Amino acid sequence: MAYYEVCSTDAHCKRTLQTRLDAIEEVRGVLESEGIEVPGVVVCGDQSAGKSSVLERIMGVPFPRAQGTCTKTPTILMGETDASADGVSVWVSLKEDITDAEELNDIKDIGNKITELTDDLVRQEGSAIVNRPIYVRIRGKNVPTLTVTDLPGLLYNKKGDENIHAEVVAMVNEYIEKEKTVILCVVPAGGDFLSTSEAIKLAKDVDPERHRTIVVVTKTDKIEPGEEGRHFLKSIKQGQDEIGGKKLKCIALRNRKPDEIVLDIDAEQEEAAFFERHPDLCKLLSEEWGITTLVKRITDIQVVYVDEFMKDIKGKLTEKIESVTAKLATLRPPCVDIKDKNRCMNDILIELDQLLKQRGSIRLSDGDDRDSIQYGLRERLEDYAKRMKNIDINFFTEDIYKQVLDRLERCCGFDAPPELPHPDVFQEMYVDAFERKLQVEHYSRILAEHACGFIKSELDILVESVADAFPSFVDALQGKIASLLDSKKQEVLSAIGSLIRSQGAVFTANQVYSEMVQKGLAGVLSDNHFWTNTRIGRKMSMKVYKQSNQPILFNQLNEWWNMGRKYQSAVTIQVSLHFYVTTMLDRVADDVALMVHRFLYADLRDTFLTDMLVAFRDDSLVDECMEMEHSKRQAYELTSWKKDELIKAMMTLSASAPSADSLTRQRGA
C-alpha cells in the first residue's frame, strides 16, 4: 500500500491518530532534545512562493507577509486541538516550552510578534538568515494537532546572495532529511513549476521515492484561462518530475486576497467557488485541490509514520532512560541541610578510604600493579636501597691510615687492645664517613621528602576524583592530608636521625662484629684468605677494587701492622670501619625504607578514615566545605529532570497506544 493511499476518514482511525498526535506533540520537545526523530511537517520553497499563505490556511491564523525575504529564521508552529476552546489562543517565544511568553490578545498580532523576534535575532547574530527557531503555540477548536516548521525561502542565486543562498540550502536540508518528516514543497503556479523549483530538487535527494513529498501549488488565481490553464492542468495531472521521473503528488491552492483577510471572508468557500468556476481548473479532481485535501494528505502520510514511531519509541525511550539513570548514578545529589552534608562527607571519606586501601595493595584486582600507590612507593624505596648499598667506600687508603694515626695521637696515650678499635677514634671516623662523606642521613631525608610528596600527589588525585563536586571540601581535605603527612614526615626524619646516630655505639658491644674484625685481621695476616674465600670479604674487596681500580694493598696493611702496637690499632680501626660502614649501609638502607613505608604510608592508610573524621568533626567546617559546585549541582538537577521527563514521555505515549494497535491495520479491517 502506498503511503499516500492510507485513508484517514474512518472515525475510529481518526480518533486514534488524534490521540497519538496529541501525545506526540506533548512530549515532542523532550524527544527531540534526546535526538529521537518525531513525525512532523516542514514547509520549504523559493522566496515569495507563498509559504506563509499555506501556513495560514493549514493553521487558521495569520502570518507575516512581505515582498522579498520575509521568513529569516525557522518558525516552528505547534498546533493543538482543544475541543473546549471558544476561540484561538497563540503564544510566540524563542523558547520551545513558551514559558516566557504571554498569550497574544489578538491573533492578528501573531505576524507582528514573529517579525519583532525575527528582527531581534537578525540584529543579535548580525546575519540576514539565522538558524535559531521561533516557536509559536496555537490552540483552538479547529486547529489541527500538528507541528509545522516554516523555513526561509530559497533565494535566487543573485550576485552578492551566494552566501545567504548556501545558508538557506543547508538549513532546508537539515530539516527535510529527517525520515519521518512530511515535506511540503510550495511552488507558485506558472511555467514549468515542477522542473524549475529548487525545493522540489532538494526534496528529491532525501525522498527519491516521493513517499513523503507533497507539492503545494499556490497563486493559482493568477492562471489565465486558455493555454496557460491547460498547461497547468496537464502538469498537475501528470505530476511528473522531468529530472527524476517519479510521480509527484500535487495539490493546488488558492491564496487569500488582502481584502478577504481584512473582511474575514470564509477562505474555503472562496476557494471552492474559484476552482468550480475556472474554465480549466474546474477539471481538477477533488483530491487535486483545496486546503482540506492538503490536510487530509498530510494526515494520511502521518498515519504510517505515527504507526512506525509508536512501534519503535518504547525501545528507544527505555534505552535513553537506562543511559540517563547510569549517568545519574555517577553524580552526587546536592546536600539540603547539615545532616545531609555530614552524611555526604562521610560517604566521600569512606569511599576515599576504600580507594586508598585498594590502591595501596601490591597488586590490583586486574593484575596490574603499576597504578597502585604501593607500587610507586616501592619503586622509590628500592631505588634508594640500591643506591645506598652500592656506595663505593675504601678505608684502606694511605690517607685514611694517616687520619687514623693522627686521631690516635690526640687520644693522649689511650692503650686499647689491638684487636678492638679505639672507641673515640672509631666514633669520630665513623661520623666523619657516615654522616659527612657518605651523607647517609642527607640522602635518607631526601627519600622521606620525595616519598611524602609522591603519596600526597597520589592522595590529591584520589580526593579530586571522589569529591570534585565540592571544591571547598577538596581544598580542606587536601590541606588536612598535607598536615597529617608533614607530621608523619617529621616522625620518620627523627627516627632516621636516631637510627643513624645509634649505630656507632652498637659495633663495639656486639660480639658478631668483633669476631668479624678479628677474622678480617686474620685475613690480612694470613695470605688474604678472608678477602678471597668469604662472602663479606669478597664483597668488600670488590667495592674497594671498583673504587680504586686496584687490589687491596694487603702487603701495605701487613707492613703497617708489623710497625707496632699503635699502628696495629690504626689497621684495626681501618678494618673495623670497612666492616661496620659496609654492613651499616645495608642495614640502614633497609631500615630507612621500612621506616618511610611504615610512617608515611602504612600508618596513614590504617588510620586515615579515623583521622579525617576527627579532623572534620566540626559542623561549621562541614557546612562551609560541603557546598556543591554550581555546575555539578546543575548537572545533577538537569540529569534528574531529564530522567523524569523521559519517564513521563514513556507514560504519555504508552497511555495513547496501550495495545500498540496499527492505524493502517485498523483501516485494513
DSSP-assigned states of every residue in 180-206: TEEEEEEEESSSSHHHH-HHHHHHHHH
pLDDT at residue number 68: 47
Structural domain including 261 reads 36-289
H or E stretch at 125: helix 110-125
Claim to verify: residue 352 and residue 453 sit in the same structural domain: yes
Q: Which letter does DSSP use for residue 220 in this model?
A: G
Claim to verify: residue 269 and residue 360 sit in the same structural domain: no
Claim to verify: residue 385 and residue 462 sit in the same structural domain: yes
Claim to verify: residue 390 and residue 274 sit in the same structural domain: no
Would you tell me how many other CB atoms lie within 10 Å of the CB of residue 501?
Answer: 13
The answer to whether 441 and 591 have CB atoms below 8 angstroms apart is no
Query: With the C-alpha atoms ordered 285, 289, 293, 298, is the resulting torsion angle positive or negative?
Result: positive
The reply to whether 657 falls in a domain is no
The reply to whether 28 falls in a domain is no
From 628, 622, 620, 635, select the one nearest 334 (Cα to Cα).
628
Provide the grid cell at 43.
Answer: 514547509
Claim to verify: residue 207 and residue 87 sit in the same structural domain: yes
Looking at 608, 624, 640, the residue that finishes a domain is 624
Provide the H-helix boundaries in 34-83: 51-59
Q: Is the pTM of this model over 0.75?
A: no
Number of residues written out for the chain: 669
pLDDT at residue number 325: 93
Query: 525-575, pLDDT tens digit by residue?
Result: 454 444 444 444 444 444 444 444 444 444 555 555 555 555 666 777 777
The reply to whether 31 falls in a domain is no
Question: From CA 34, how far away is CA 138, in angstroms rounded?
Answer: 24
The reply to whether 634 falls in a domain is no
Q: List, in sequence order, every residue forming a beta bridge with 321; answer none if it has no partner.
A: none
Three-state secondary-structure class, residue 241: coil
CATH code for the domain in which residue 222 is found: 3.40.50.300
Question: From CA 188, how far away is CA 216, in angstroms rounded?
Answer: 8
The reply to whether 295 falls in a domain is no
Question: From CA 448, how far away is CA 455, in angstroms rounded?
Answer: 11
What is the β-pairing status of strands 75-81 and 146-150? antiparallel
The reply to whether 502 falls in a domain is yes
H or E stretch at 576: helix 565-596
Claim to verify: residue 575 and residue 470 sit in the same structural domain: yes
Looking at 250, 265, 289, the residue that finishes a domain is 289
Angle between helices 338-360 and 440-467 in degrees, nearest 10: 130
pLDDT at residue number 627: 85
From 645, 633, 657, select the one nearest 97 (Cα to Cα).
645
**Strand order through the sheet with 181-188:** 88-93, 134-140, 75-81, 146-150, 40-45, 181-188, 213-218, 249-252
The reply to whether 321 falls in a domain is no
Question: From CA 430, how far away is CA 543, in angstroms rounded?
Answer: 18
Claim to verify: residue 354 and residue 235 sit in the same structural domain: no
What is the β-pairing status of strands 146-150 and 134-140? unpaired
Give the number of domains in the chain: 2
From 287, 214, 200, 217, select the one nearest 254 (Cα to Cα).
217
Torsion of CA 168, 174, 175, 178, to 10 degrees: 160
Query: With the C-alpha atoms ordered 356, 359, 363, 366, is the resulting torsion angle positive or negative?
Result: positive
Claim to verify: residue 245 and residue 346 sit in the same structural domain: no
Q: What's at 490, amino acid-wise?
A: Q
Three-state secondary-structure class, residue 214: strand
pLDDT < 70 regions, the chain = 1-14, 64-70, 156-162, 239-246, 258-265, 360-371, 392, 411-424, 426, 434-437, 503-569, 657-669
From 229, 327, 359, 350, select the one nearest 635 (Cα to Cα).
327
Claim to verify: residue 389 and residue 536 sit in the same structural domain: yes
Provide the grid cell at 606.
Answer: 590504617
Buried/exposed code over 458-489 (b: 16+ C-beta within 10 A; e: otherwise): bbeebbeebbebbeebbebbbebbeebbeebb
Burial class (CB in 10 A: 0-12, 13-18, 19+), 69: middle
Q: List, in sequence order, every residue forming a beta bridge with 252; answer none if it has no partner.
A: 217, 289
Angle between helices 511-525 and 535-548 in degrees, nearest 10: 60
Query: With the C-alpha atoms ordered 355, 357, 360, 366, is the resulting torsion angle positive or negative?
Result: negative
Claim to verify: residue 282 and residue 344 sit in the same structural domain: no
The reply to whether 418 falls in a domain is yes
The 3 state secondary structure assigned to 631-666 is: HHHHHHHHHHHHHHHHHHHHHHHHHHCCCCCCHHHH
Claim to verify: residue 276 and residue 351 sit in the same structural domain: no
Three-state secondary-structure class, residue 39: coil
Query: 401-427, pLDDT tens digit by residue?
Result: 778 777 777 765 545 544 445 666 767
Claim to verify: residue 130 and residue 219 sit in the same structural domain: yes
Looking at 228, 258, 289, the residue that finishes a domain is 289
